[in-house]
A and B are shown apart, each in its own frame.
Chain A
Amino acid sequence: MLFVPKALAITNEPLTLDPFDLASGGAVLTRATQNDIPAANPALLPYGAKKLRWLGLRTAFYAGASSVTLAQELLKDSKTLQKQTNQDFLNLALDHPLHLGLAEILSFITSHFGLAFFANSQPDLKAWRNGDPATGAGTPEIVFHNESYGGVLASLAGRSPYDWLSFGLTAKYLLISQGVVDLDITDTNAVDEAKTELSEQDFTSPARGYGIDAGTLLFLQGRVVDFRLGLTADNIGGMRLSKPVTDGPTLSSYNVGVGFTLHGDADAVHFAVDYRDVTNAYEDPLFKRIYAGTKIVFHRILGLATGIYNGAPSYGLELDLFAIKLSFTEYTREYGDSPGVDPREIYIVSFALGTYF
């Protein structure tokens, strides 16, 4: 009755993903926001204008579009709510999956070194009238799952003898807490099993582990056009874990990405495509392993982004007001194994406070 479908956990994508990078499809192997470089590709560190890059904290709030609608329904006047029957409440829950999330990252980034402390959590609750498309049997079903990741990333990078080639390593210590509770309401044992699952501390006692990622970047810089090719190897030799993790970012995998930039003195257009988990170690469907998108940056103040994430469009904008960065992103995360099976349209509002040097 209780299981962890592969589709529900973060597997092949980076541990931290800046909302603006997510808006451009999540393609970060060849270009990433400063605070996410340790997780994206440490070989990106050496490329930039200054030695000291970023010191700051970013906080992002996630809310499913349907959660916002549900909140609006629940905030209606109390008389309306009192008149609602069990069926009305059930229909409200069936039509509005609940998805919330919080992510924070505190990072210090230089041209050769990066250190990031991060934590993110995204619980999700969905009720199905006739069962989940993968595991349902025709009767109402409630699926709750939580993914919580936290830890430390420390990166070192340098350029090879050639200016256009860099290498980097990221050492990571992770706390992973994830679990799924799947309740078919016709199964009288389901509640007992759920209690057992919780008491086995899947939610309260995270798995701890450490691992190493490596990356390389080929960067051909032109007067108007740049070309990048990025390669990363995640969890080299596997991850050492304190207890088994059914699904999570713990397998050895390889990723490749290409990027192009058209740029002037202050403006730039970035195109990037990533193909993650080339050997399909996580057995994710293809549409979840391809990330692609575009960013446009105007005078380093306003950024617009669009892309494809999990096979669906993503959008966003970012305002970079020196010490403060604000961003808004809309994207769709697919929890099913095929596009459109169990999508969540998610809004992210992000606030970063920090300093560029």
Chain B
Amino acid sequence: MTALPRHERLVFFILLFFMGACGQTSLIMCSVRSTYCVSQTEDEKAMLALNDGDYALAQQILEALIAKYPLEYFRYPRLAATYASEAGFLLTNIVDLNTSASSSLFDQVRAFLPTPNAQDLGAFQGQLKKMGQARSLLLLMPKIQRMQGTSFYGASAEFQLVLYQFAYSIMFLNQFAVMTSSGKLDPKILATMTVADAVLIFTNLAQAAQYAGLENPSFGQAVAEVTTQIQAKDGADDRAKMIQFLQTQNE
């Protein structure tokens, strides 16, 4: 076999060099999600984790970023959504909300919130705490930062606050509505409600109406209806009326 002329050998070796130089730093060797050449940002990782349902990872990344950059408010509604998801509240459920339906908005939202399980009351308390965190985080934002039209995240933050406060109110109420195996409310759990708890429930509902404001009248109206229903119950005090309301709701 005749040897290649010198210049062709040179080109051939250059060719081999480029083939061999790929190695660990080439795009070809880079994995999809995190490459030697270029990596996803922490914000991208957090949002992908949130969309994929990996809430623990999303929470870890977002909490660290917020601690580092507390004035970058776009991360607050993202983390709030993460907490709400961990509380068992999936935002995609709002596609089923129908403000003109025969059932009240209260009942519709209540239908896709987690309910306490008699076998594991601690789990529900954990979810309630997460929902409270979601609401509280959004309240840390300056009001102008969670207003529609001020930023790409303002409308979402505003809506999430209304929704999470509303959901928190319902969940706080529901923590006393534990069903027994016979399908009735557990009277022992119901009896643990104190007067202070009842006052807190009304306070939460009032806050839900406040945050709903003029922008989300359906939620304000739903809160008003529930408050009226509770106040209309027979009972010596708010606690008694609240218990009656829960018993009526779960009949």
Chain A positions within 8 Å of B, measured between CB atoms, are 1, 3, 85-87, 90-91, 94, 128-140, 184-190, 220, 222-227, 260, 262, 271, 273, 285-287, 290, 292, 308, 311-312, 336-341, 343
Contacts and interface: CB of A to CB of B under 8 A. Distances in A.
Contact of B96 (A86, A136, A285): A86
A271 B15 contact: yes
Interface of B: 4-5, 7-8, 11-12, 14-15, 18-19, 27-28, 30, 32-33, 35, 37-41, 43-44, 47-48, 50-51, 74, 77-82, 85, 90-96, 148-149, 152-153, 155-160, 215
The 8 closest A-B pairs by CB, nearest first: A138-B81, A137-B156, A137-B153, A186-B159, A187-B155, A133-B47, A338-B40, A222-B8
A146 B48 CA distance: 23
Contacts of A340: 32-33, 40, 48
A197 B102 CA distance: 36
Given A86-B95, A260-B15, A139 B81 contact: yes
A222 B7 contact: yes
A186 B37 CA distance: 37
B91 to A, nearest CB: 6
Contacts of A131: 47, 50-51, 78, 81, 156
A94 B93 CA distance: 13
A287 B37 contact: yes
Q: Secondary structure at chain B's binding surface: helix, strand, loop or mixed?
A: helix
Contact of B148 (A130, A185, A188, A292): A188
A135 B92 contact: no
A312 B44 CA distance: 18
B155 A189 contact: yes
A257 to B, nearest CB: 13
B30 A137 contact: no
Given A128-B51, A286-B38, A188 B155 contact: yes
Contacts of A1: 152, 155
Contacts of B74: 137
28 contacts: A1-B155, A86-B95, A128-B51, A131-B47, A132-B47, A137-B155, A137-B156, A139-B160, A140-B95, A188-B148, A220-B7, A220-B11, A223-B5, A224-B4, A224-B12, A225-B8, A225-B11, A227-B14, A260-B11, A271-B15, A271-B18, A308-B28, A311-B32, A311-B35, A311-B38, A339-B33, A340-B33, A340-B40
A138 B160 contact: yes
Contacts of A91: 92
Given A138-B91, A312-B32, A133 B44 contact: yes
B95 to A, nearest CB: 5
A87 B159 contact: no
